[in-house]
Amino acid sequence: MSAPELKVQDLAVKDGKGNWLVQPCSFTLKPGVALSIIGGSGSGKSLLVQAIMGSLASGLRASGEIRLGNAVSRAEDASGRRPWWGHTLAMLPQEPWLALNPSMRAGKQVAESYHYVSNTRMGMAQAKMQASADLNQLGVAAASEKYPFMLSGGMAQRVAFAATRAGGAQVVIVDEPTKGLDADARDNLLTVLQTVLKQGGSVLTITHDMHVARMLGGNVMVMRDSNVLEQGTAEQVLENPQHEYTRALLAADPENWTQAMPAPGTGQQILEARGLGKRYGKQTLFSGINLEIHAGERIAISGPSGAGKTTLGNMLLGLVAPDQGSIALAPGLDKLKLQKLYQDPVSAFAPRLTLKQAFDDLIRLHKLNPSALPPMLARLKLDEGLLRRLPSQVSGGELQRLALARILLLSPALIFADEPTSRLDPISQQDTMNLLLETVAENASAILLVTHDRELAAKTMQRHIAIQHA
Amino acid sequence: MIKVLSHLLLRRCLQAVLVALLVSTVSFFLMHSLSGDLAFRIAAGRYGYDMVTAAAAEAVRVELGLDRPLLQGLILWWQQLLQFDLGDSYLSSAPVIEEIREQFGHTLQLALSALVLSVVIALPIGLIAGLNPHGWLDRVSLTLSIILRAFPPFLLGILLILLLSSKLGITNAANASHEHGGLFLPALTLALSLAAVSSRVARDAMVEVRRSAYFNFARTKGLSDLLALLRHGIRNAAVPVIAYLGVQLVFLMEGVIIIESLFAWPGIGHALAHAVFGRDIPMIQGTAIVMGLLFVLCNTLVDIACMLADPRQRYLASRRADA
């Protein structure tokens, strides 16, 4: 059965004050043909698909017309599209790990769509069997009896996908489906989406990942600042971009980065680790890791999800005690000189204190020179006015650079950067990564990077440590 | 699950022993540091203030061994405790354990009724208020919560007696066939004070759930609002409410003593208050220990309820049990 055609006419979103959040745009999603929307954070991509679904936050107003097959709905009449949900139109949310009910087994969360939503109205027992079969087909049969917190990001992604599809919807919207997934999980998901397309379904994807847009093919739409800048077939847009911004987006893909200069790696030794090992319960995470880090070195830690990459980094910083082995810091080196840059900058700042407070406290606590802050912010291309705001009021890229400034004030010998840019859009990712590398080089610090992005690691780091499941 | 439960119970049993020892020792010292002559107070309790003479007080002192050094008294008391002997009441001379056995059932009945009633009141109000934050129910329940929590329980109890018994005649303040007026009023008094806070916890939990990605996903999957609430909302919102009950137990224990006295409810709290007036040390120590143990018991029940409601806690507990 092939999907109904989704036709969007002059769809726009305004906030309560009448500001445009999405300028009027029109497009058609044909059965079997993918449409990918790419663009930076805050460009209105997510609002656009929420407007299609009819799940915009209260206070935002949509206008325009949405047709799904023979059904027509005015965009502002969100409740009119409620009956479509699950039956004909479905959305796989961002961060599937959070989108699953934490206190319900995964299989049941898929089965309920068959039981309550699907037109087949199957009984619970049959629905459960069908759900198990679906999960089996997606390669996550083991997930059925597990709770979401026991699943990896990639597994949760596929469970959420099964739950999204089980209601019978042929038109699927997926919002940043590969955020935070490693390459294997990403390829897995792409296969799943391609299968939907082959079976005549249609897929509307929002993504930061040019690789995803390229692999799904079909059509591509580029958005910036509430505007659709260009749209066309994937080949046209990705191979021969018309708009300058599209070219910048493509250039920001780590695949197209220039190789960073090799670092000397002959500086003073910062730390030496021997025979490091870690176990969780009866399971050995890794063992027998030997490592020396010298000033100026750039080291990437790679390995599959759950292999213990973050744990190893934390161990070197002294945040986690090793079960085996030992770590020796260079004589006279204070532990404070080993610093960590977190994956999610929002949770690395106190949410209800202004950023100025965060910096003032740091300066007072460590008796730093307050006059070092303004040039540091300028170096990281940050406006001092940002300091008056709360962490939730600045963009992800800015906040990550503020987190970097906070670390650099301590003139660290080693920075452990744990997926520092995985939540940023490609352009902020490149900016942040460049500034990180430049400042690290200026300070002759060493950097230890954990990332699931092989390209990024290859382009920026000089030494690679792979850890495998023991 | 059985392994997890037995692990939990074992831990709680150890805790119970520690609580019993600590409470008994502290209450021993507290009682002996009270001002006034113990023997006089006890004799007054037995024979009435008018009848107390120095000779009678002296007789009491010798009879109860109050002339012994403090340390010796403490060691004797510990010895008794290890044999599960709480001693005899100074006033009635009956074994303390007998008196407590009679009262304990009443207290347990009152405490559990209040706890259950508070959940019955707080959960629906909190959940509905949370479904429509800043709506009229949310604002009214917030105002009521603040007022109810600001009242000390004894004042609230008196107001409820005035309102429900004297004015409206719905319940009996005192029952002719009984020495007390029934379970409902004292349980309601305690439950309202507890629900004042629980309902806000439930409200915030519901707001949190409604904002959560999984609740929205339940809706976009195609479930109706009611189904999304029943299958994905209530259980997740209930977990913090249950956990918070553990925090409120302190308030419950304290409230039980005051409310039992106010409503002449023949429980341990009532007995404890009387024992303090009469300087009936074994009775005070006995009731304090039992209250302490009741606290541990209620905490254990809350722990188990949390584990049943939240698979993450079940999982963490099983990890702990394995380690």
Domain architecture of chain B: domains with CATH: 96-322 (1.10.3720.10)
Residue A298, strand partner residues:
A447
Kindly report, residue by residue over A217-275, the tens digit of the pLDDT.
999 999 988 889 999 999 999 999 999 999 998 888 888 888 877 766 567 889 999 99
Q: Is residue A301 part of a domain?
A: yes
Residues A304 and A176 in one domain: no
Rounded Cα distance between B139 and B144, Å, is: 9
Q: Is residue A124 part of a domain?
A: yes
* Strands A269-280 vs A324-329: parallel, antiparallel or unpaired: antiparallel
Start-to-end Cα distance in chain B: 15
Residues A206 and A347 in one domain: no
DSSP per residue, A173-233: EEESTTTT--HHHHHHHHHHHHHHHHTT-EEEEEES-HHHHHHH-SEEEEEETTEEEEEEE
**Binning pLDDT at 50, 70 and 90, where does residue B171 land?**
low
Of the three residues A253, A283, A313, the one that is the final residue of a domain is A253
Question: What's the confidence (pLDDT) of residue B177?
Answer: 44
User: Which residue stretches of chain A have pLDDT < 70?
Assistant: 1, 263-266, 469-470
Residues A132 and A221 in one domain: yes
Q: Is residue A258 part of a domain?
A: no
Tell me B164's DSSP state: I
Rounded Cα distance between A292 and A280, Å, is: 25
Start-to-end Cα distance in chain A: 46
Rounded Cα distance between B259 and B156, Å, is: 10
Residues A196 and A155 in one domain: yes
Chain A segment 73-102 residues within 8 A of B by beta carbon are 85-87, 90-91, 93-95, 98-102
Cα separation values, A274 from A279, A300, A323, A328, A336, Å? 16, 18, 12, 9, 21
Q: Is residue A260 part of a domain?
A: no
Mean pLDDT of B278-307: 85
Rounded Cα distance between B274 and B264, Å, is: 11
Rounded Cα distance between B135 and A183, Å, is: 46
Query: If you measure CA to CA, which chain A residue comes closest to B319?
Result: A281
With beta carbons under 8 A apart, name residues in chain A contacting B311.
102-103, 147, 149
Q: Is residue A308 part of a domain?
A: yes
Residues A206 and A330 in one domain: no
Q: Is residue A395 part of a domain?
A: yes
With beta carbons under 8 A apart, name residues in chain B contacting A117.
221-223
Question: What's the confidence (pLDDT) of residue A388?
Answer: 92
Best probe of the A interface among B209, B214, B223, by most A CBs < 10 A, is: B214
Q: How far apart are the CA of A99 and the nearest CA of chain B, in angstroms?
A: 4
Residues A313 and A165 in one domain: no
Coil, strand or helix at B109: helix
Residues A110 and A191 in one domain: yes
CB contact under 8 A, B217 and A93: yes
Residues A206 and A278 in one domain: no
Kindly report, residue by residue over A88-117, the tens digit of the pLDDT.
999 998 888 889 999 999 999 999 999 998
The structure tokens 């113990």 sit at B38
Residue A391 domain boundaries: 269-466
Mean pLDDT of B268-280: 83
Question: What's the confidence (pLDDT) of residue B144?
Answer: 94
Question: What's the confidence (pLDDT) of residue A153?
Answer: 79
Residues A244 and A369 in one domain: no
Asked if residue B82 has pLDDT above 90, the reply is no
Mean pLDDT of B122-134: 90
Residues A136 and A71 in one domain: yes
Rounded Cα distance between A44 and A396, Å, is: 15
Across the interface, which of B222, B309, B311 has its CB nearest the CB of A113? Answer: B222
Question: What's the confidence (pLDDT) of residue B176?
Answer: 44
Residues A346 and A440 in one domain: yes
Higher-pLDDT residue of B129 and B94 is: B129
With beta carbons under 8 A apart, name residues in chain A contacting B220.
53, 55, 85-86, 90-91, 93
- State the CATH number of the domain containing residue A189: 3.40.50.300
Q: Is residue A299 part of a domain?
A: yes
Q: What is the token pair recorded at A236?
A: 């046209």
- By percentage, how much of chain B surpasses pLDDT 90? 21
**Interface residue A228 vs chain B (CB under 8 A):** no
Sequence length of chain A is 470
Tally of domains within chain A = 2
Q: Is residue A114 part of a domain?
A: yes
Asked if residue B167 has pLDDT above 80, the reply is no
Lowest mean pLDDT among A394-408, B64-78, B138-152: B64-78
Asked if residue B249 has pLDDT above 60, the reply is yes
Residues A219 and A340 in one domain: no
With beta carbons under 8 A apart, name residues in chain B contacting A103.
235-236, 239, 309-312
